[in-house]
Chains A and B, each alone.
Chain A
């Protein structure tokens, strides 16, 4: 029920959308796919700005990066041939796991980023790839996704639009992984995570990025672990040790699926599996250029 809702807008440009969103007299929110906004709507909403006509639905390689329009439907992330290859298809796989097909057909990339859902695998994959969020304020501003999530509510409340998500180059000896712990194969995860490891020619870790979901209100990067791994020569024991010593949020939430205590106990197990899987993939990756 939206008792105060009285205006629907469908602008054709980002500038027009921002003008509508920034009106002080009427509480207006952007409407992308609707799968998050309308499933539990804020009763104070008075107007929506439907973004479907904005030119934000493209996938464009540019300077080694991949520019993803915020209005890309999640299912198009699953199907797009470039994304199926980019970083071993991590984004494509994560998008597929994020929701059933009927939801993916409507849900958008921008909506996923805006929701900040703690266990959305797509968001975890974007974090693991160190994605950048492009905002229209109206001036163009780029924020690392990690930083955006930290300040998400404040940023969104200021009447901005997410226009793009940028994926950094993902070449070289890269390995990625995406795993979860859940009551059933398709249940919302208790914990999940995504990892991305890049090795140099000697097997030394050039870069490690690990994101975990289910430990707080939004997904988190495990920075201490990443720092410990970067520059190290990796093997299974090193990964096991690093996972066990990782500094994780001290008080994970309790919900209907599991207690915080369980999450705290199992997070190192998940971390180790993420690292081992990504490392094994990277070891067997001869190194490809661009997004491969």
Chain B
């Protein structure tokens, strides 16, 4: 049918079908800034303006807009003509992954059209229908308010007040002078050149010796706008699905309706006969190559317990078959034609039941490798001990034991898993995928596909959020198998329901803690026993649980430690990596426990922590025993800002200044709670990142990194490091990341490692390039290269003579001793300096309904030297928002058959802009000598402290100790009623 409408000011006729959704129609027409994140109008990524009002295009038919006017993000502004809102989002650090950004800007545009002077509440209401999993909404709200001010003529959209580096004012670079540019053709100056990466780096200078604490900086330590901000704010086609290829087929998966079953017979003949179907794959079509989906370094510590399509299904949502067809509708129809006869097996959903004798064995396949004890459903087991815990317990003044339980939650990136595969012109398989681990994907998939790694190229475009769920080889294998089967490009995208039930989640755990203390509160011994539920497959089973212990037991000084861990299979959707990687579970237990311990001792809980927390020079006694699937490394603490985190966080929240009761609302109780946490900066002795930097004719630089920016802004942070060393602005660094053909190796985005590890590689490479630049400039200036400095796009001699970087580049490439100035460097570390955090929460509890309302959250983080303070703040704001959902409402819920009953945003609630409490992020600067410019990690630690801080606040308010998350009204009310007999109200 034909419809006529105006899109972005252009009135024209379009062809559509009666059933085509407006979202699909617009994307088919090339308006790719309209994003797909759900199919039920709950995520907001598909927002557009319809006759000036913001609406959701996934719940509109294209036919409905016949005769109407549509504006998409492409019609609001372009990179050459940015709208004030787009500029505001870029300048205010309001963009992280950028997947929801077009929707937010569209919604904000509608608001400002009719309300030029909105309140913050009104801005939050306007943005409420657009879910953001990255930012915590703080900076997007600030951006909209700033844009409104500019539109009212009350100033321009400039950077908000951002924390700047606390570095000593020094000499600084020479006064800038205009450097003569040989390029006078507009646009030519920024054209990148072809890439080479084969430069020897033997002569690179010693690591971390060229910048000392306190030296002034020009680029790092400043809240620079993101290098990809304009692209994301204008909705440019940057994400995996923003690519259309001729002859592309659409894949769909047939998923198991049973929690545990064998496939007795599968007949795909009718599906294969359906016109438009090009391939149907079942377990009878693919070789059973066992692998782990966990994207980890070689040799993978997770068990090889998965095949692409198995003869047994182990959870509701497990894969049964895959179809590639000429349209999604045909693929969907084909799924209905596949006949499957199941032998339904007894299922076990409870992790304690799964370990008991007689429980159904979930992995009975003989070819699985690396399972600790398949007969007992044990994916992994580990025991470690230091000192003499039993002796210390016996000698302690007080011994306390408690058990805590955590639950299963989903990452819910707004962009679901998406992959496109094709054969390129050289007969190599290209995998364009939303992954955090492109190099692991290539290595792990090669044997699964029967291809050598050299015939596989993995490209990671922009990712719409990951948080660990994309540290997996989750859909790439099936998509690639379908390309192998058809020879055609194939696209596979999870629906939101599939993302919930068939991707990965956070490991639920039962944590048993025991501590012995002296009378003065000094810890004498600690023991942690964990049972973790890894679900149907053992991806990250060992390492997540180990990380719970290695971080949870390392925050406080104690030489007598014991840790035991079991990770057990059940017939639930698999767990995996999730921001924090076991540590949020651990600190929920440890930091709740510390408050309980303090009460048992009659001590102030902050004082108990202060007496025991780690200090510089301390070494974790279990560091060697709790490595990443291998022996770990002792890592003496060099920087620790935890005392200052507690001090600043206390001041910000007004610690101790809350009134417990409210005469106007007698059913309300108020309280404050706090929790400390430590994370890591990469996996010591294992994680490696590499970077290449190449100088161009105009003095700009290509920075090629394997590091994977999953929305955190790591491309920007890495570019800042390079720019700082090379004496140029951020716009002189052209970043290209995460392409196994064109960038050097990086293990990927996980374990809070990118700034610390990959940043170290960038700094090394930049220092070597700087050395080469100086060598050329020294010849040109006839000066000692050691006397030269790089600043303001030039090389300067002490006497003020200088040559521009353009002149150096042209000289080296064309004039004398011609060579390419470039370098490649790798970086790894045997250290993993912990960032530290203190999180404070103020809550209200309704003692009649059990409702908990968090009114304020403060999170003070020592992340060393913040390379980009706005981005670091954004990580904290977004992290605590996720953590708030973890504490209060998010929970994957199942029926008795193991079916997920809330696989959508309507029933699985994540926090919206209009219900967020006041969130304050505080950066506590320290200097980590092993990190680039003193930096440590920041990405994961905001997840760790919210749940225990809220638990402790609920206790302060009501006297009820909650040892299980989330703190739902029902759980709180039940606890209140149980406690009523104690007379505490």
Contact = CB atoms under 8 A, between A and B. Distances in A.
Contacts of A181: 849, 851, 969
Interface string A245-286: 000000000011111001001100110000000000000000
Given A6-B18, A101-B129, A183 B969 contact: yes
Contacts of B53: 75, 105
B912 A183 contact: no
B125 interface: yes
Given A102-B47, A269-B848, A31 B61 contact: yes
A84 to B, nearest CB: 16
A48 B58 CA distance: 16
Interface stretch (B349-357, B394-402, B516-524, B901-909): B901-909
B100 to A, nearest CB: 12
Interface string A159-186: 0000000000000000000000111111
Given A5-B19, A102-B130, A256-B901, A188 B849 contact: no
B661 interface: no
A115 interface: no
* Most chain B CB inside 10 Å of its own CB: which residue of A6, A50, A105: A105
A157 interface: no
B808 to A, nearest CB: 53
A85 interface: no
B970 A39 contact: no
A38 B60 contact: yes
B577 interface: no
Interface of A is mostly: loop
A186 B888 CA distance: 12
B40 A184 contact: no
Given A35-B59, A101-B54, A256-B907, A262 B970 contact: yes
A262 B969 contact: yes
B128 A8 contact: no
Interface in A37-92: 38-40, 47-48, 50, 52, 75
Interface residues of B, number: 57
Interface stretch (B205-213, B222-230, B328-336): B328-336
Contacts of A75: 53
A-B interface, 9 closest residue pairs, ranked by CB to CB distance from nearest: A100-B129, A102-B129, A39-B40, A256-B893, A5-B19, A186-B915, A8-B18, A185-B915, A183-B889
A34 interface: yes
A171 B163 CA distance: 56
Given A183-B889, A262-B970, 12 more contacts: A3-B333, A35-B41, A39-B40, A39-B41, A102-B130, A105-B50, A181-B851, A182-B851, A188-B907, A190-B969, A256-B908, A266-B850
B326 interface: no
B723 interface: no
Contacts of B55: 102, 105-106
B107 A187 contact: no
Interface of A: 1-3, 5-8, 10, 31, 33-35, 38-40, 47-48, 50, 52, 75, 99-103, 105-106, 181-188, 190, 255-259, 262, 265-266, 269-270
Interface in B936-985: 966, 968-970, 973-974
Given A183-B888, A184-B909, A258-B970, A103 B41 contact: yes
Point out which of A35, A182, A183, A270 has the most chain B C-beta atoms below 10 A from its C-beta.
A183
Contacts of B64: 31, 34, 50, 52
Interface string B898-923: 00011000111101101100000000
Contacts of A6: 18-19
B66 A103 contact: no
A151 to B, nearest CB: 26
A256 B888 contact: no
Contacts of B129: 99-103
B790 interface: no
Contact of B332 (A3, A102, A182, A269): A3
Contacts of A40: 40
Contacts of A35: 41, 56, 59
Nearest to B917: A185
Contact of B901 (A183, A186, A255): A255
11 contacts: A1-B332, A38-B41, A39-B40, A52-B64, A100-B128, A101-B107, A184-B889, A185-B853, A257-B968, A262-B970, A266-B849
Interface of B: 1, 18-19, 21, 39-42, 44, 47, 50, 53-56, 58-61, 63-64, 66, 107, 125-126, 128-130, 328-329, 332-333, 848-851, 853, 888-889, 891, 893, 901-902, 906-909, 911-912, 914-915, 966, 968-970, 973-974
Q: Which of B64, B126, B328 has the most CB of A within 10 A?
A: B64
Given A10-B66, A187-B889, A2 B901 contact: no
Given A8-B61, A10-B66, A105 B54 contact: yes
A103 B56 contact: yes
A102 B50 CA distance: 11
Contacts of B40: 39-40
B732 to A, nearest CB: 40
Contacts of B907: 188, 255-257
A40 B61 CA distance: 13
A89 B964 CA distance: 40
Nearest to B332: A1
A183 to B, nearest CB: 4
Nearest to B54: A102
Given A50-B64, A181-B849, A266-B849, A186 B128 contact: yes
Given A5-B18, A184-B888, A262 B973 contact: yes
B685 to A, nearest CB: 42
A1 B969 contact: no
A183 B1 contact: no
Contacts of A31: 61, 64
A125 B424 CA distance: 60
Contacts of A106: 50, 55-56, 59-60
Nearest to A262: B970
Nearest to B59: A38
Contacts of B50: 105-106
Contacts of B41: 35, 38-39, 102-103
A258 B55 CA distance: 31
Nearest to A102: B129
B912 A256 contact: no
A48 B970 CA distance: 42
A123 to B, nearest CB: 16
A225 B129 CA distance: 37
B33 to A, nearest CB: 16
Contacts of A102: 41, 44, 47, 54-56, 107, 129-130
A184 B970 CA distance: 13
A259 B912 CA distance: 24
Given A105-B54, A181-B851, A269-B848, A188 B968 contact: no
Nearest to B103: A102
A253 to B, nearest CB: 11
A259 B909 CA distance: 17
Nearest to A36: B59
A265 B888 CA distance: 20
B973 A265 contact: yes
A100 B912 contact: yes
Contacts of A187: 889, 909, 915
A265 B902 CA distance: 23
A56 to B, nearest CB: 16
